[in-house]
Amino acid sequence: MSDLPRKAVTRTAKLAALPLGFAGRATWGLGKRIGGRSAEIVGRELQQRTAEQLFKVLGELKGGAMKFGQALSVFESALPEEVAGPYRAALTKLQEAAPPMPTSTVHTVLAERLGEEWRELFQEFEDKPSAAASIGQVHRAVWHDGRPVAVKVQYPGAGAALLSDLAQLSRFARLLGPLIPGMDVKPLIGELRDRVAEELDYALEAEAQEAHAAEFDGDEDVRVPAVVHQSEQILVTEWLDGIPLAEVIADGTPEQRDRAGQLLARFLFSGPARTGLLHADPHPGNFRLLADDGPVSGWRLGVLDFGTVDRLPEGLPPTIGTALRMTLEGQAEVVHQQLCDEGFVKDSIDLDPQEVLEYLLPIIEPAQVEEFTFTRDWMRRQATRIGDPRSPAHQLGKQLNLPPSYLLIHRVTLSTIGVLCQLGAAVRLRDELTDWLPGFVSPDTPADEPDEEEAEPDGRVAEEEPIG
């Protein structure tokens, strides 16, 4: 595989060919319909062919193209099975790997950033990468003190490639919309573009990872590898073994799926509360299920890649939890007023509060019950309900506004739900919201007082059953 295609003309030509291919298939589809085939069948074939080409090109280019593909890949559960099935393997590849850059390029970057004697820093260094992603690839090595480490090396020219790709993709964003029903891809591209500088800054990534590693050190549910060394374009962290979440999605047992799903939901909501940071890249390639000794119910979630985070020093906004609680309680007028106050409903828009409540309730169904099983079928129903132009939910959704401060939180939450649906996990989401989401529990609700004989030394109540 050649080096990362950095020339703008090369990358632009590959991406520019995508809408031409889309147009050609649309013409093909029109001919099929004229020939008597139903619009629904032809539409699905078009969607399948388009997706196959799209994800093939995005994976080849890495850079911003691959980053966009990874962001889209977590929403494949919203697609009809006959469309999603054939290219699910391509999506998995986007989540876990990409073609590597040449060994000579890797050595050049290491020499430039760590010094000509860079090999003395390692007892061992594997030239073949263990993983390759959108802006860098990871090599397994042994640090000079004997610790197994992961060495992330940034692709030369990654910054220019990211910006060029995302600018090109935004030009034909509307053509990509039909791939993911109910999702507007243009804001997604814009938000990815806004995060480019942070994504490329390994010092910021190291800072975010160190904060998580310190907070979750010794945690029984989550493990974050410690940072060993950082310099420009190089990040060295402790190595983390485990089952990639993509493998759990493909072949995991029901127990593994449920455990991974519960921990993923727990990390989503506990992370901001404990660190003031929201891990904002929740595609399966960034997670591992750690098979610790004992039953699956005691396994932990390994979390990687803190290149994109949302800084929330006060945790998730209490408005989210309060609005969610009020929605579950059926307080339509209060919820509507909250949405207006926070800018979700613009002053010029007049909406019926009860209709807003009816729009929201199906989306928050997982929080209404003690345990909810996330499925692709549920995700498809939601996508169809919101994405069908004939649906009242679609018409109402078009009138809602997403304030900039909530954009990344919204995307991360949707992405995590997409992964939970890929897992098909049964999750006690309400428990996680109760424990970690500010505002979800009414301030009037009395706190449970633990019995003295059941209290742990730190004051917590001992659980009778293991979490799982």
pLDDT digits (tens, 9 = 90+) for 409-468: 988 998 899 999 999 999 999 999 999 999 999 887 665 554 444 444 444 444 444 433
- C-alpha neighbours within 13 Å on the C-beta side of residue 253: 8
Which residue from 272, 222, 245, 262 is spatially nearest to 465, judged by alpha carbons?
Answer: 262
Q: Which of 134, 157, 155, 152 has its CA nearest to residue 235?
A: 152
How far apart CA 49 and CA 368 sit, in angstroms, is 38
Mean pLDDT of 27-51: 48
Residue 101 lies in a domain: yes
State the total domains in the chain. 2
| pLDDT over 50 (residue 310) | yes
E-strand ranges in 215-292 read 222-223, 227-231, 234-238, 243-244, 277-279, 287-290
| Lowest-confidence region among 179-193, 195-209, 308-322 | 179-193
Burial of 107 by CB count in 10 Å (0-12 exposed, 13-18 middle, 19+ buried)?
middle
Pair (254, 400) in one structural domain = yes
Would 9 be classed as within a structural domain? yes
For the chain, what percent of residues have pLDDT higher than 70?
70
Q: How far is CA 306 from the centre of its chain?
A: 12
Based on the fold, state whether residues 272 and 352 are members of the same structural domain: yes
Residue 253 included in any domain: yes
Whether pLDDT at 213 is above 60: yes
204-223 as b/e: b if 16+ CB within 10 A: bbbebbbbbbebbeeeebbb
378-407 tens-digit pLDDT: 998 988 888 777 889 888 988 988 887 888
Strand 136-143 versus strand 122-125 pairing type: antiparallel
Give the DSSP letter of residue 351. -
What mean pLDDT is predicted for residues 105-109? 94
Which residue in 141, 112, 109, 144 sits closest to 125, CA to CA?
141
- The predicted pLDDT at position 453 comes to 45
- Same structural domain for residues 400 and 271? yes
In this prediction, residue 81 has a pLDDT band, given cuts at 50, 70 and 90, of low
Q: Which residues are 140's β-sheet partners?
A: 150
Mark whether 170 and 279 lie in a shared domain: no
C-alpha closest to that of 107 among 118, 96, 99, 98? 118
Asked if 353 and 335 touch (Cβ cutoff 8 Å), the reply is yes
Residue 180 counted as domain residue: yes
Of 47, 95, 48, the closest CA to residue 67 belongs to 95
Longest dimension (CA), the chain: 77
Please determine, for residue 90, whether its predicted confidence score (pLDDT) is greater than 90. Answer: no
% of residues, the chain, pLDDT over 90: 50
Of 146, 177, 200, the residue that ends a domain is 200
* Of 22-31, 107-116, 165-174, 364-373, the least confident: 22-31
Q: Are residues 179 and 259 both part of a single domain?
A: no
Residue 217 within any structural domain of the chain: no
What integer is the mean pLDDT of 322-343? Answer: 95
- Beta bridge partners, 131, equal 138
* Shared-domain flag, residues 121 and 49: yes
Same domain, 192 and 277: no
Q: Give 117's pLDDT tier (boundaries 50, 70, 90).
A: very high
How many residues make up the chain in this entry? 468
Higher pLDDT, 450 or 193: 193
Look at residues 181, 200, 219 and tell me which one is the last residue of a structural domain.
200
Residue with tokens 């000579």: 104
The reply to whether 90 falls in a domain is yes
Which pairing describes strands 234-238 and 227-231: parallel, antiparallel, or unpaired?
antiparallel
What distance in Å separates the CA atoms of residue 417 and residue 367, rounded to the nearest whole number?
A: 12
Whether residue 176 is predicted with pLDDT greater than 70 in this model: the reply is: no
Q: What is the pTM of this model?
A: 0.78
Which of the listed residues 200, 220, 252 is the one where a domain comes to its end?
200
pLDDT in the model for residue 102: 86
369 is a domain residue: yes
pLDDT tens-digit map of 54-73: 656 665 555 555 666 666 66
Mean pLDDT across 273-298 = 92
Q: Which residue has the tokens 């020499």?
A: 111
C-alpha span between 201 and 195 (Å, rounded): 10
The confidence band for 101, taking pLDDT boundaries of 50, 70 and 90, is confident
Same domain, 47 and 162: yes
Domain match, 188 and 293 both: no
Residue 294 domain-assigned?
Answer: yes
**348 and 468 assigned to the same domain:** yes
Distance CA 6, CA 426 (A): 43
- Mean pLDDT, the chain, whole residue set: 80
Question: Do residues 320 and 435 share a domain?
Answer: yes
State the pLDDT at residue 457. 44
Domain that includes residue 165, residue range: 1-200
With a cut of 90, say whether residue 111 has pLDDT above it. yes
* Residue 267 sits in the same domain as residue 189: no
Q: How far is 144 from 136, CA to CA, in rounded Å?
A: 23
Beta bridge pairs of residue 137: 132, 153
Query: Distance between CA atoms of 281 and 262, rounded to whole angstroms?
Result: 18
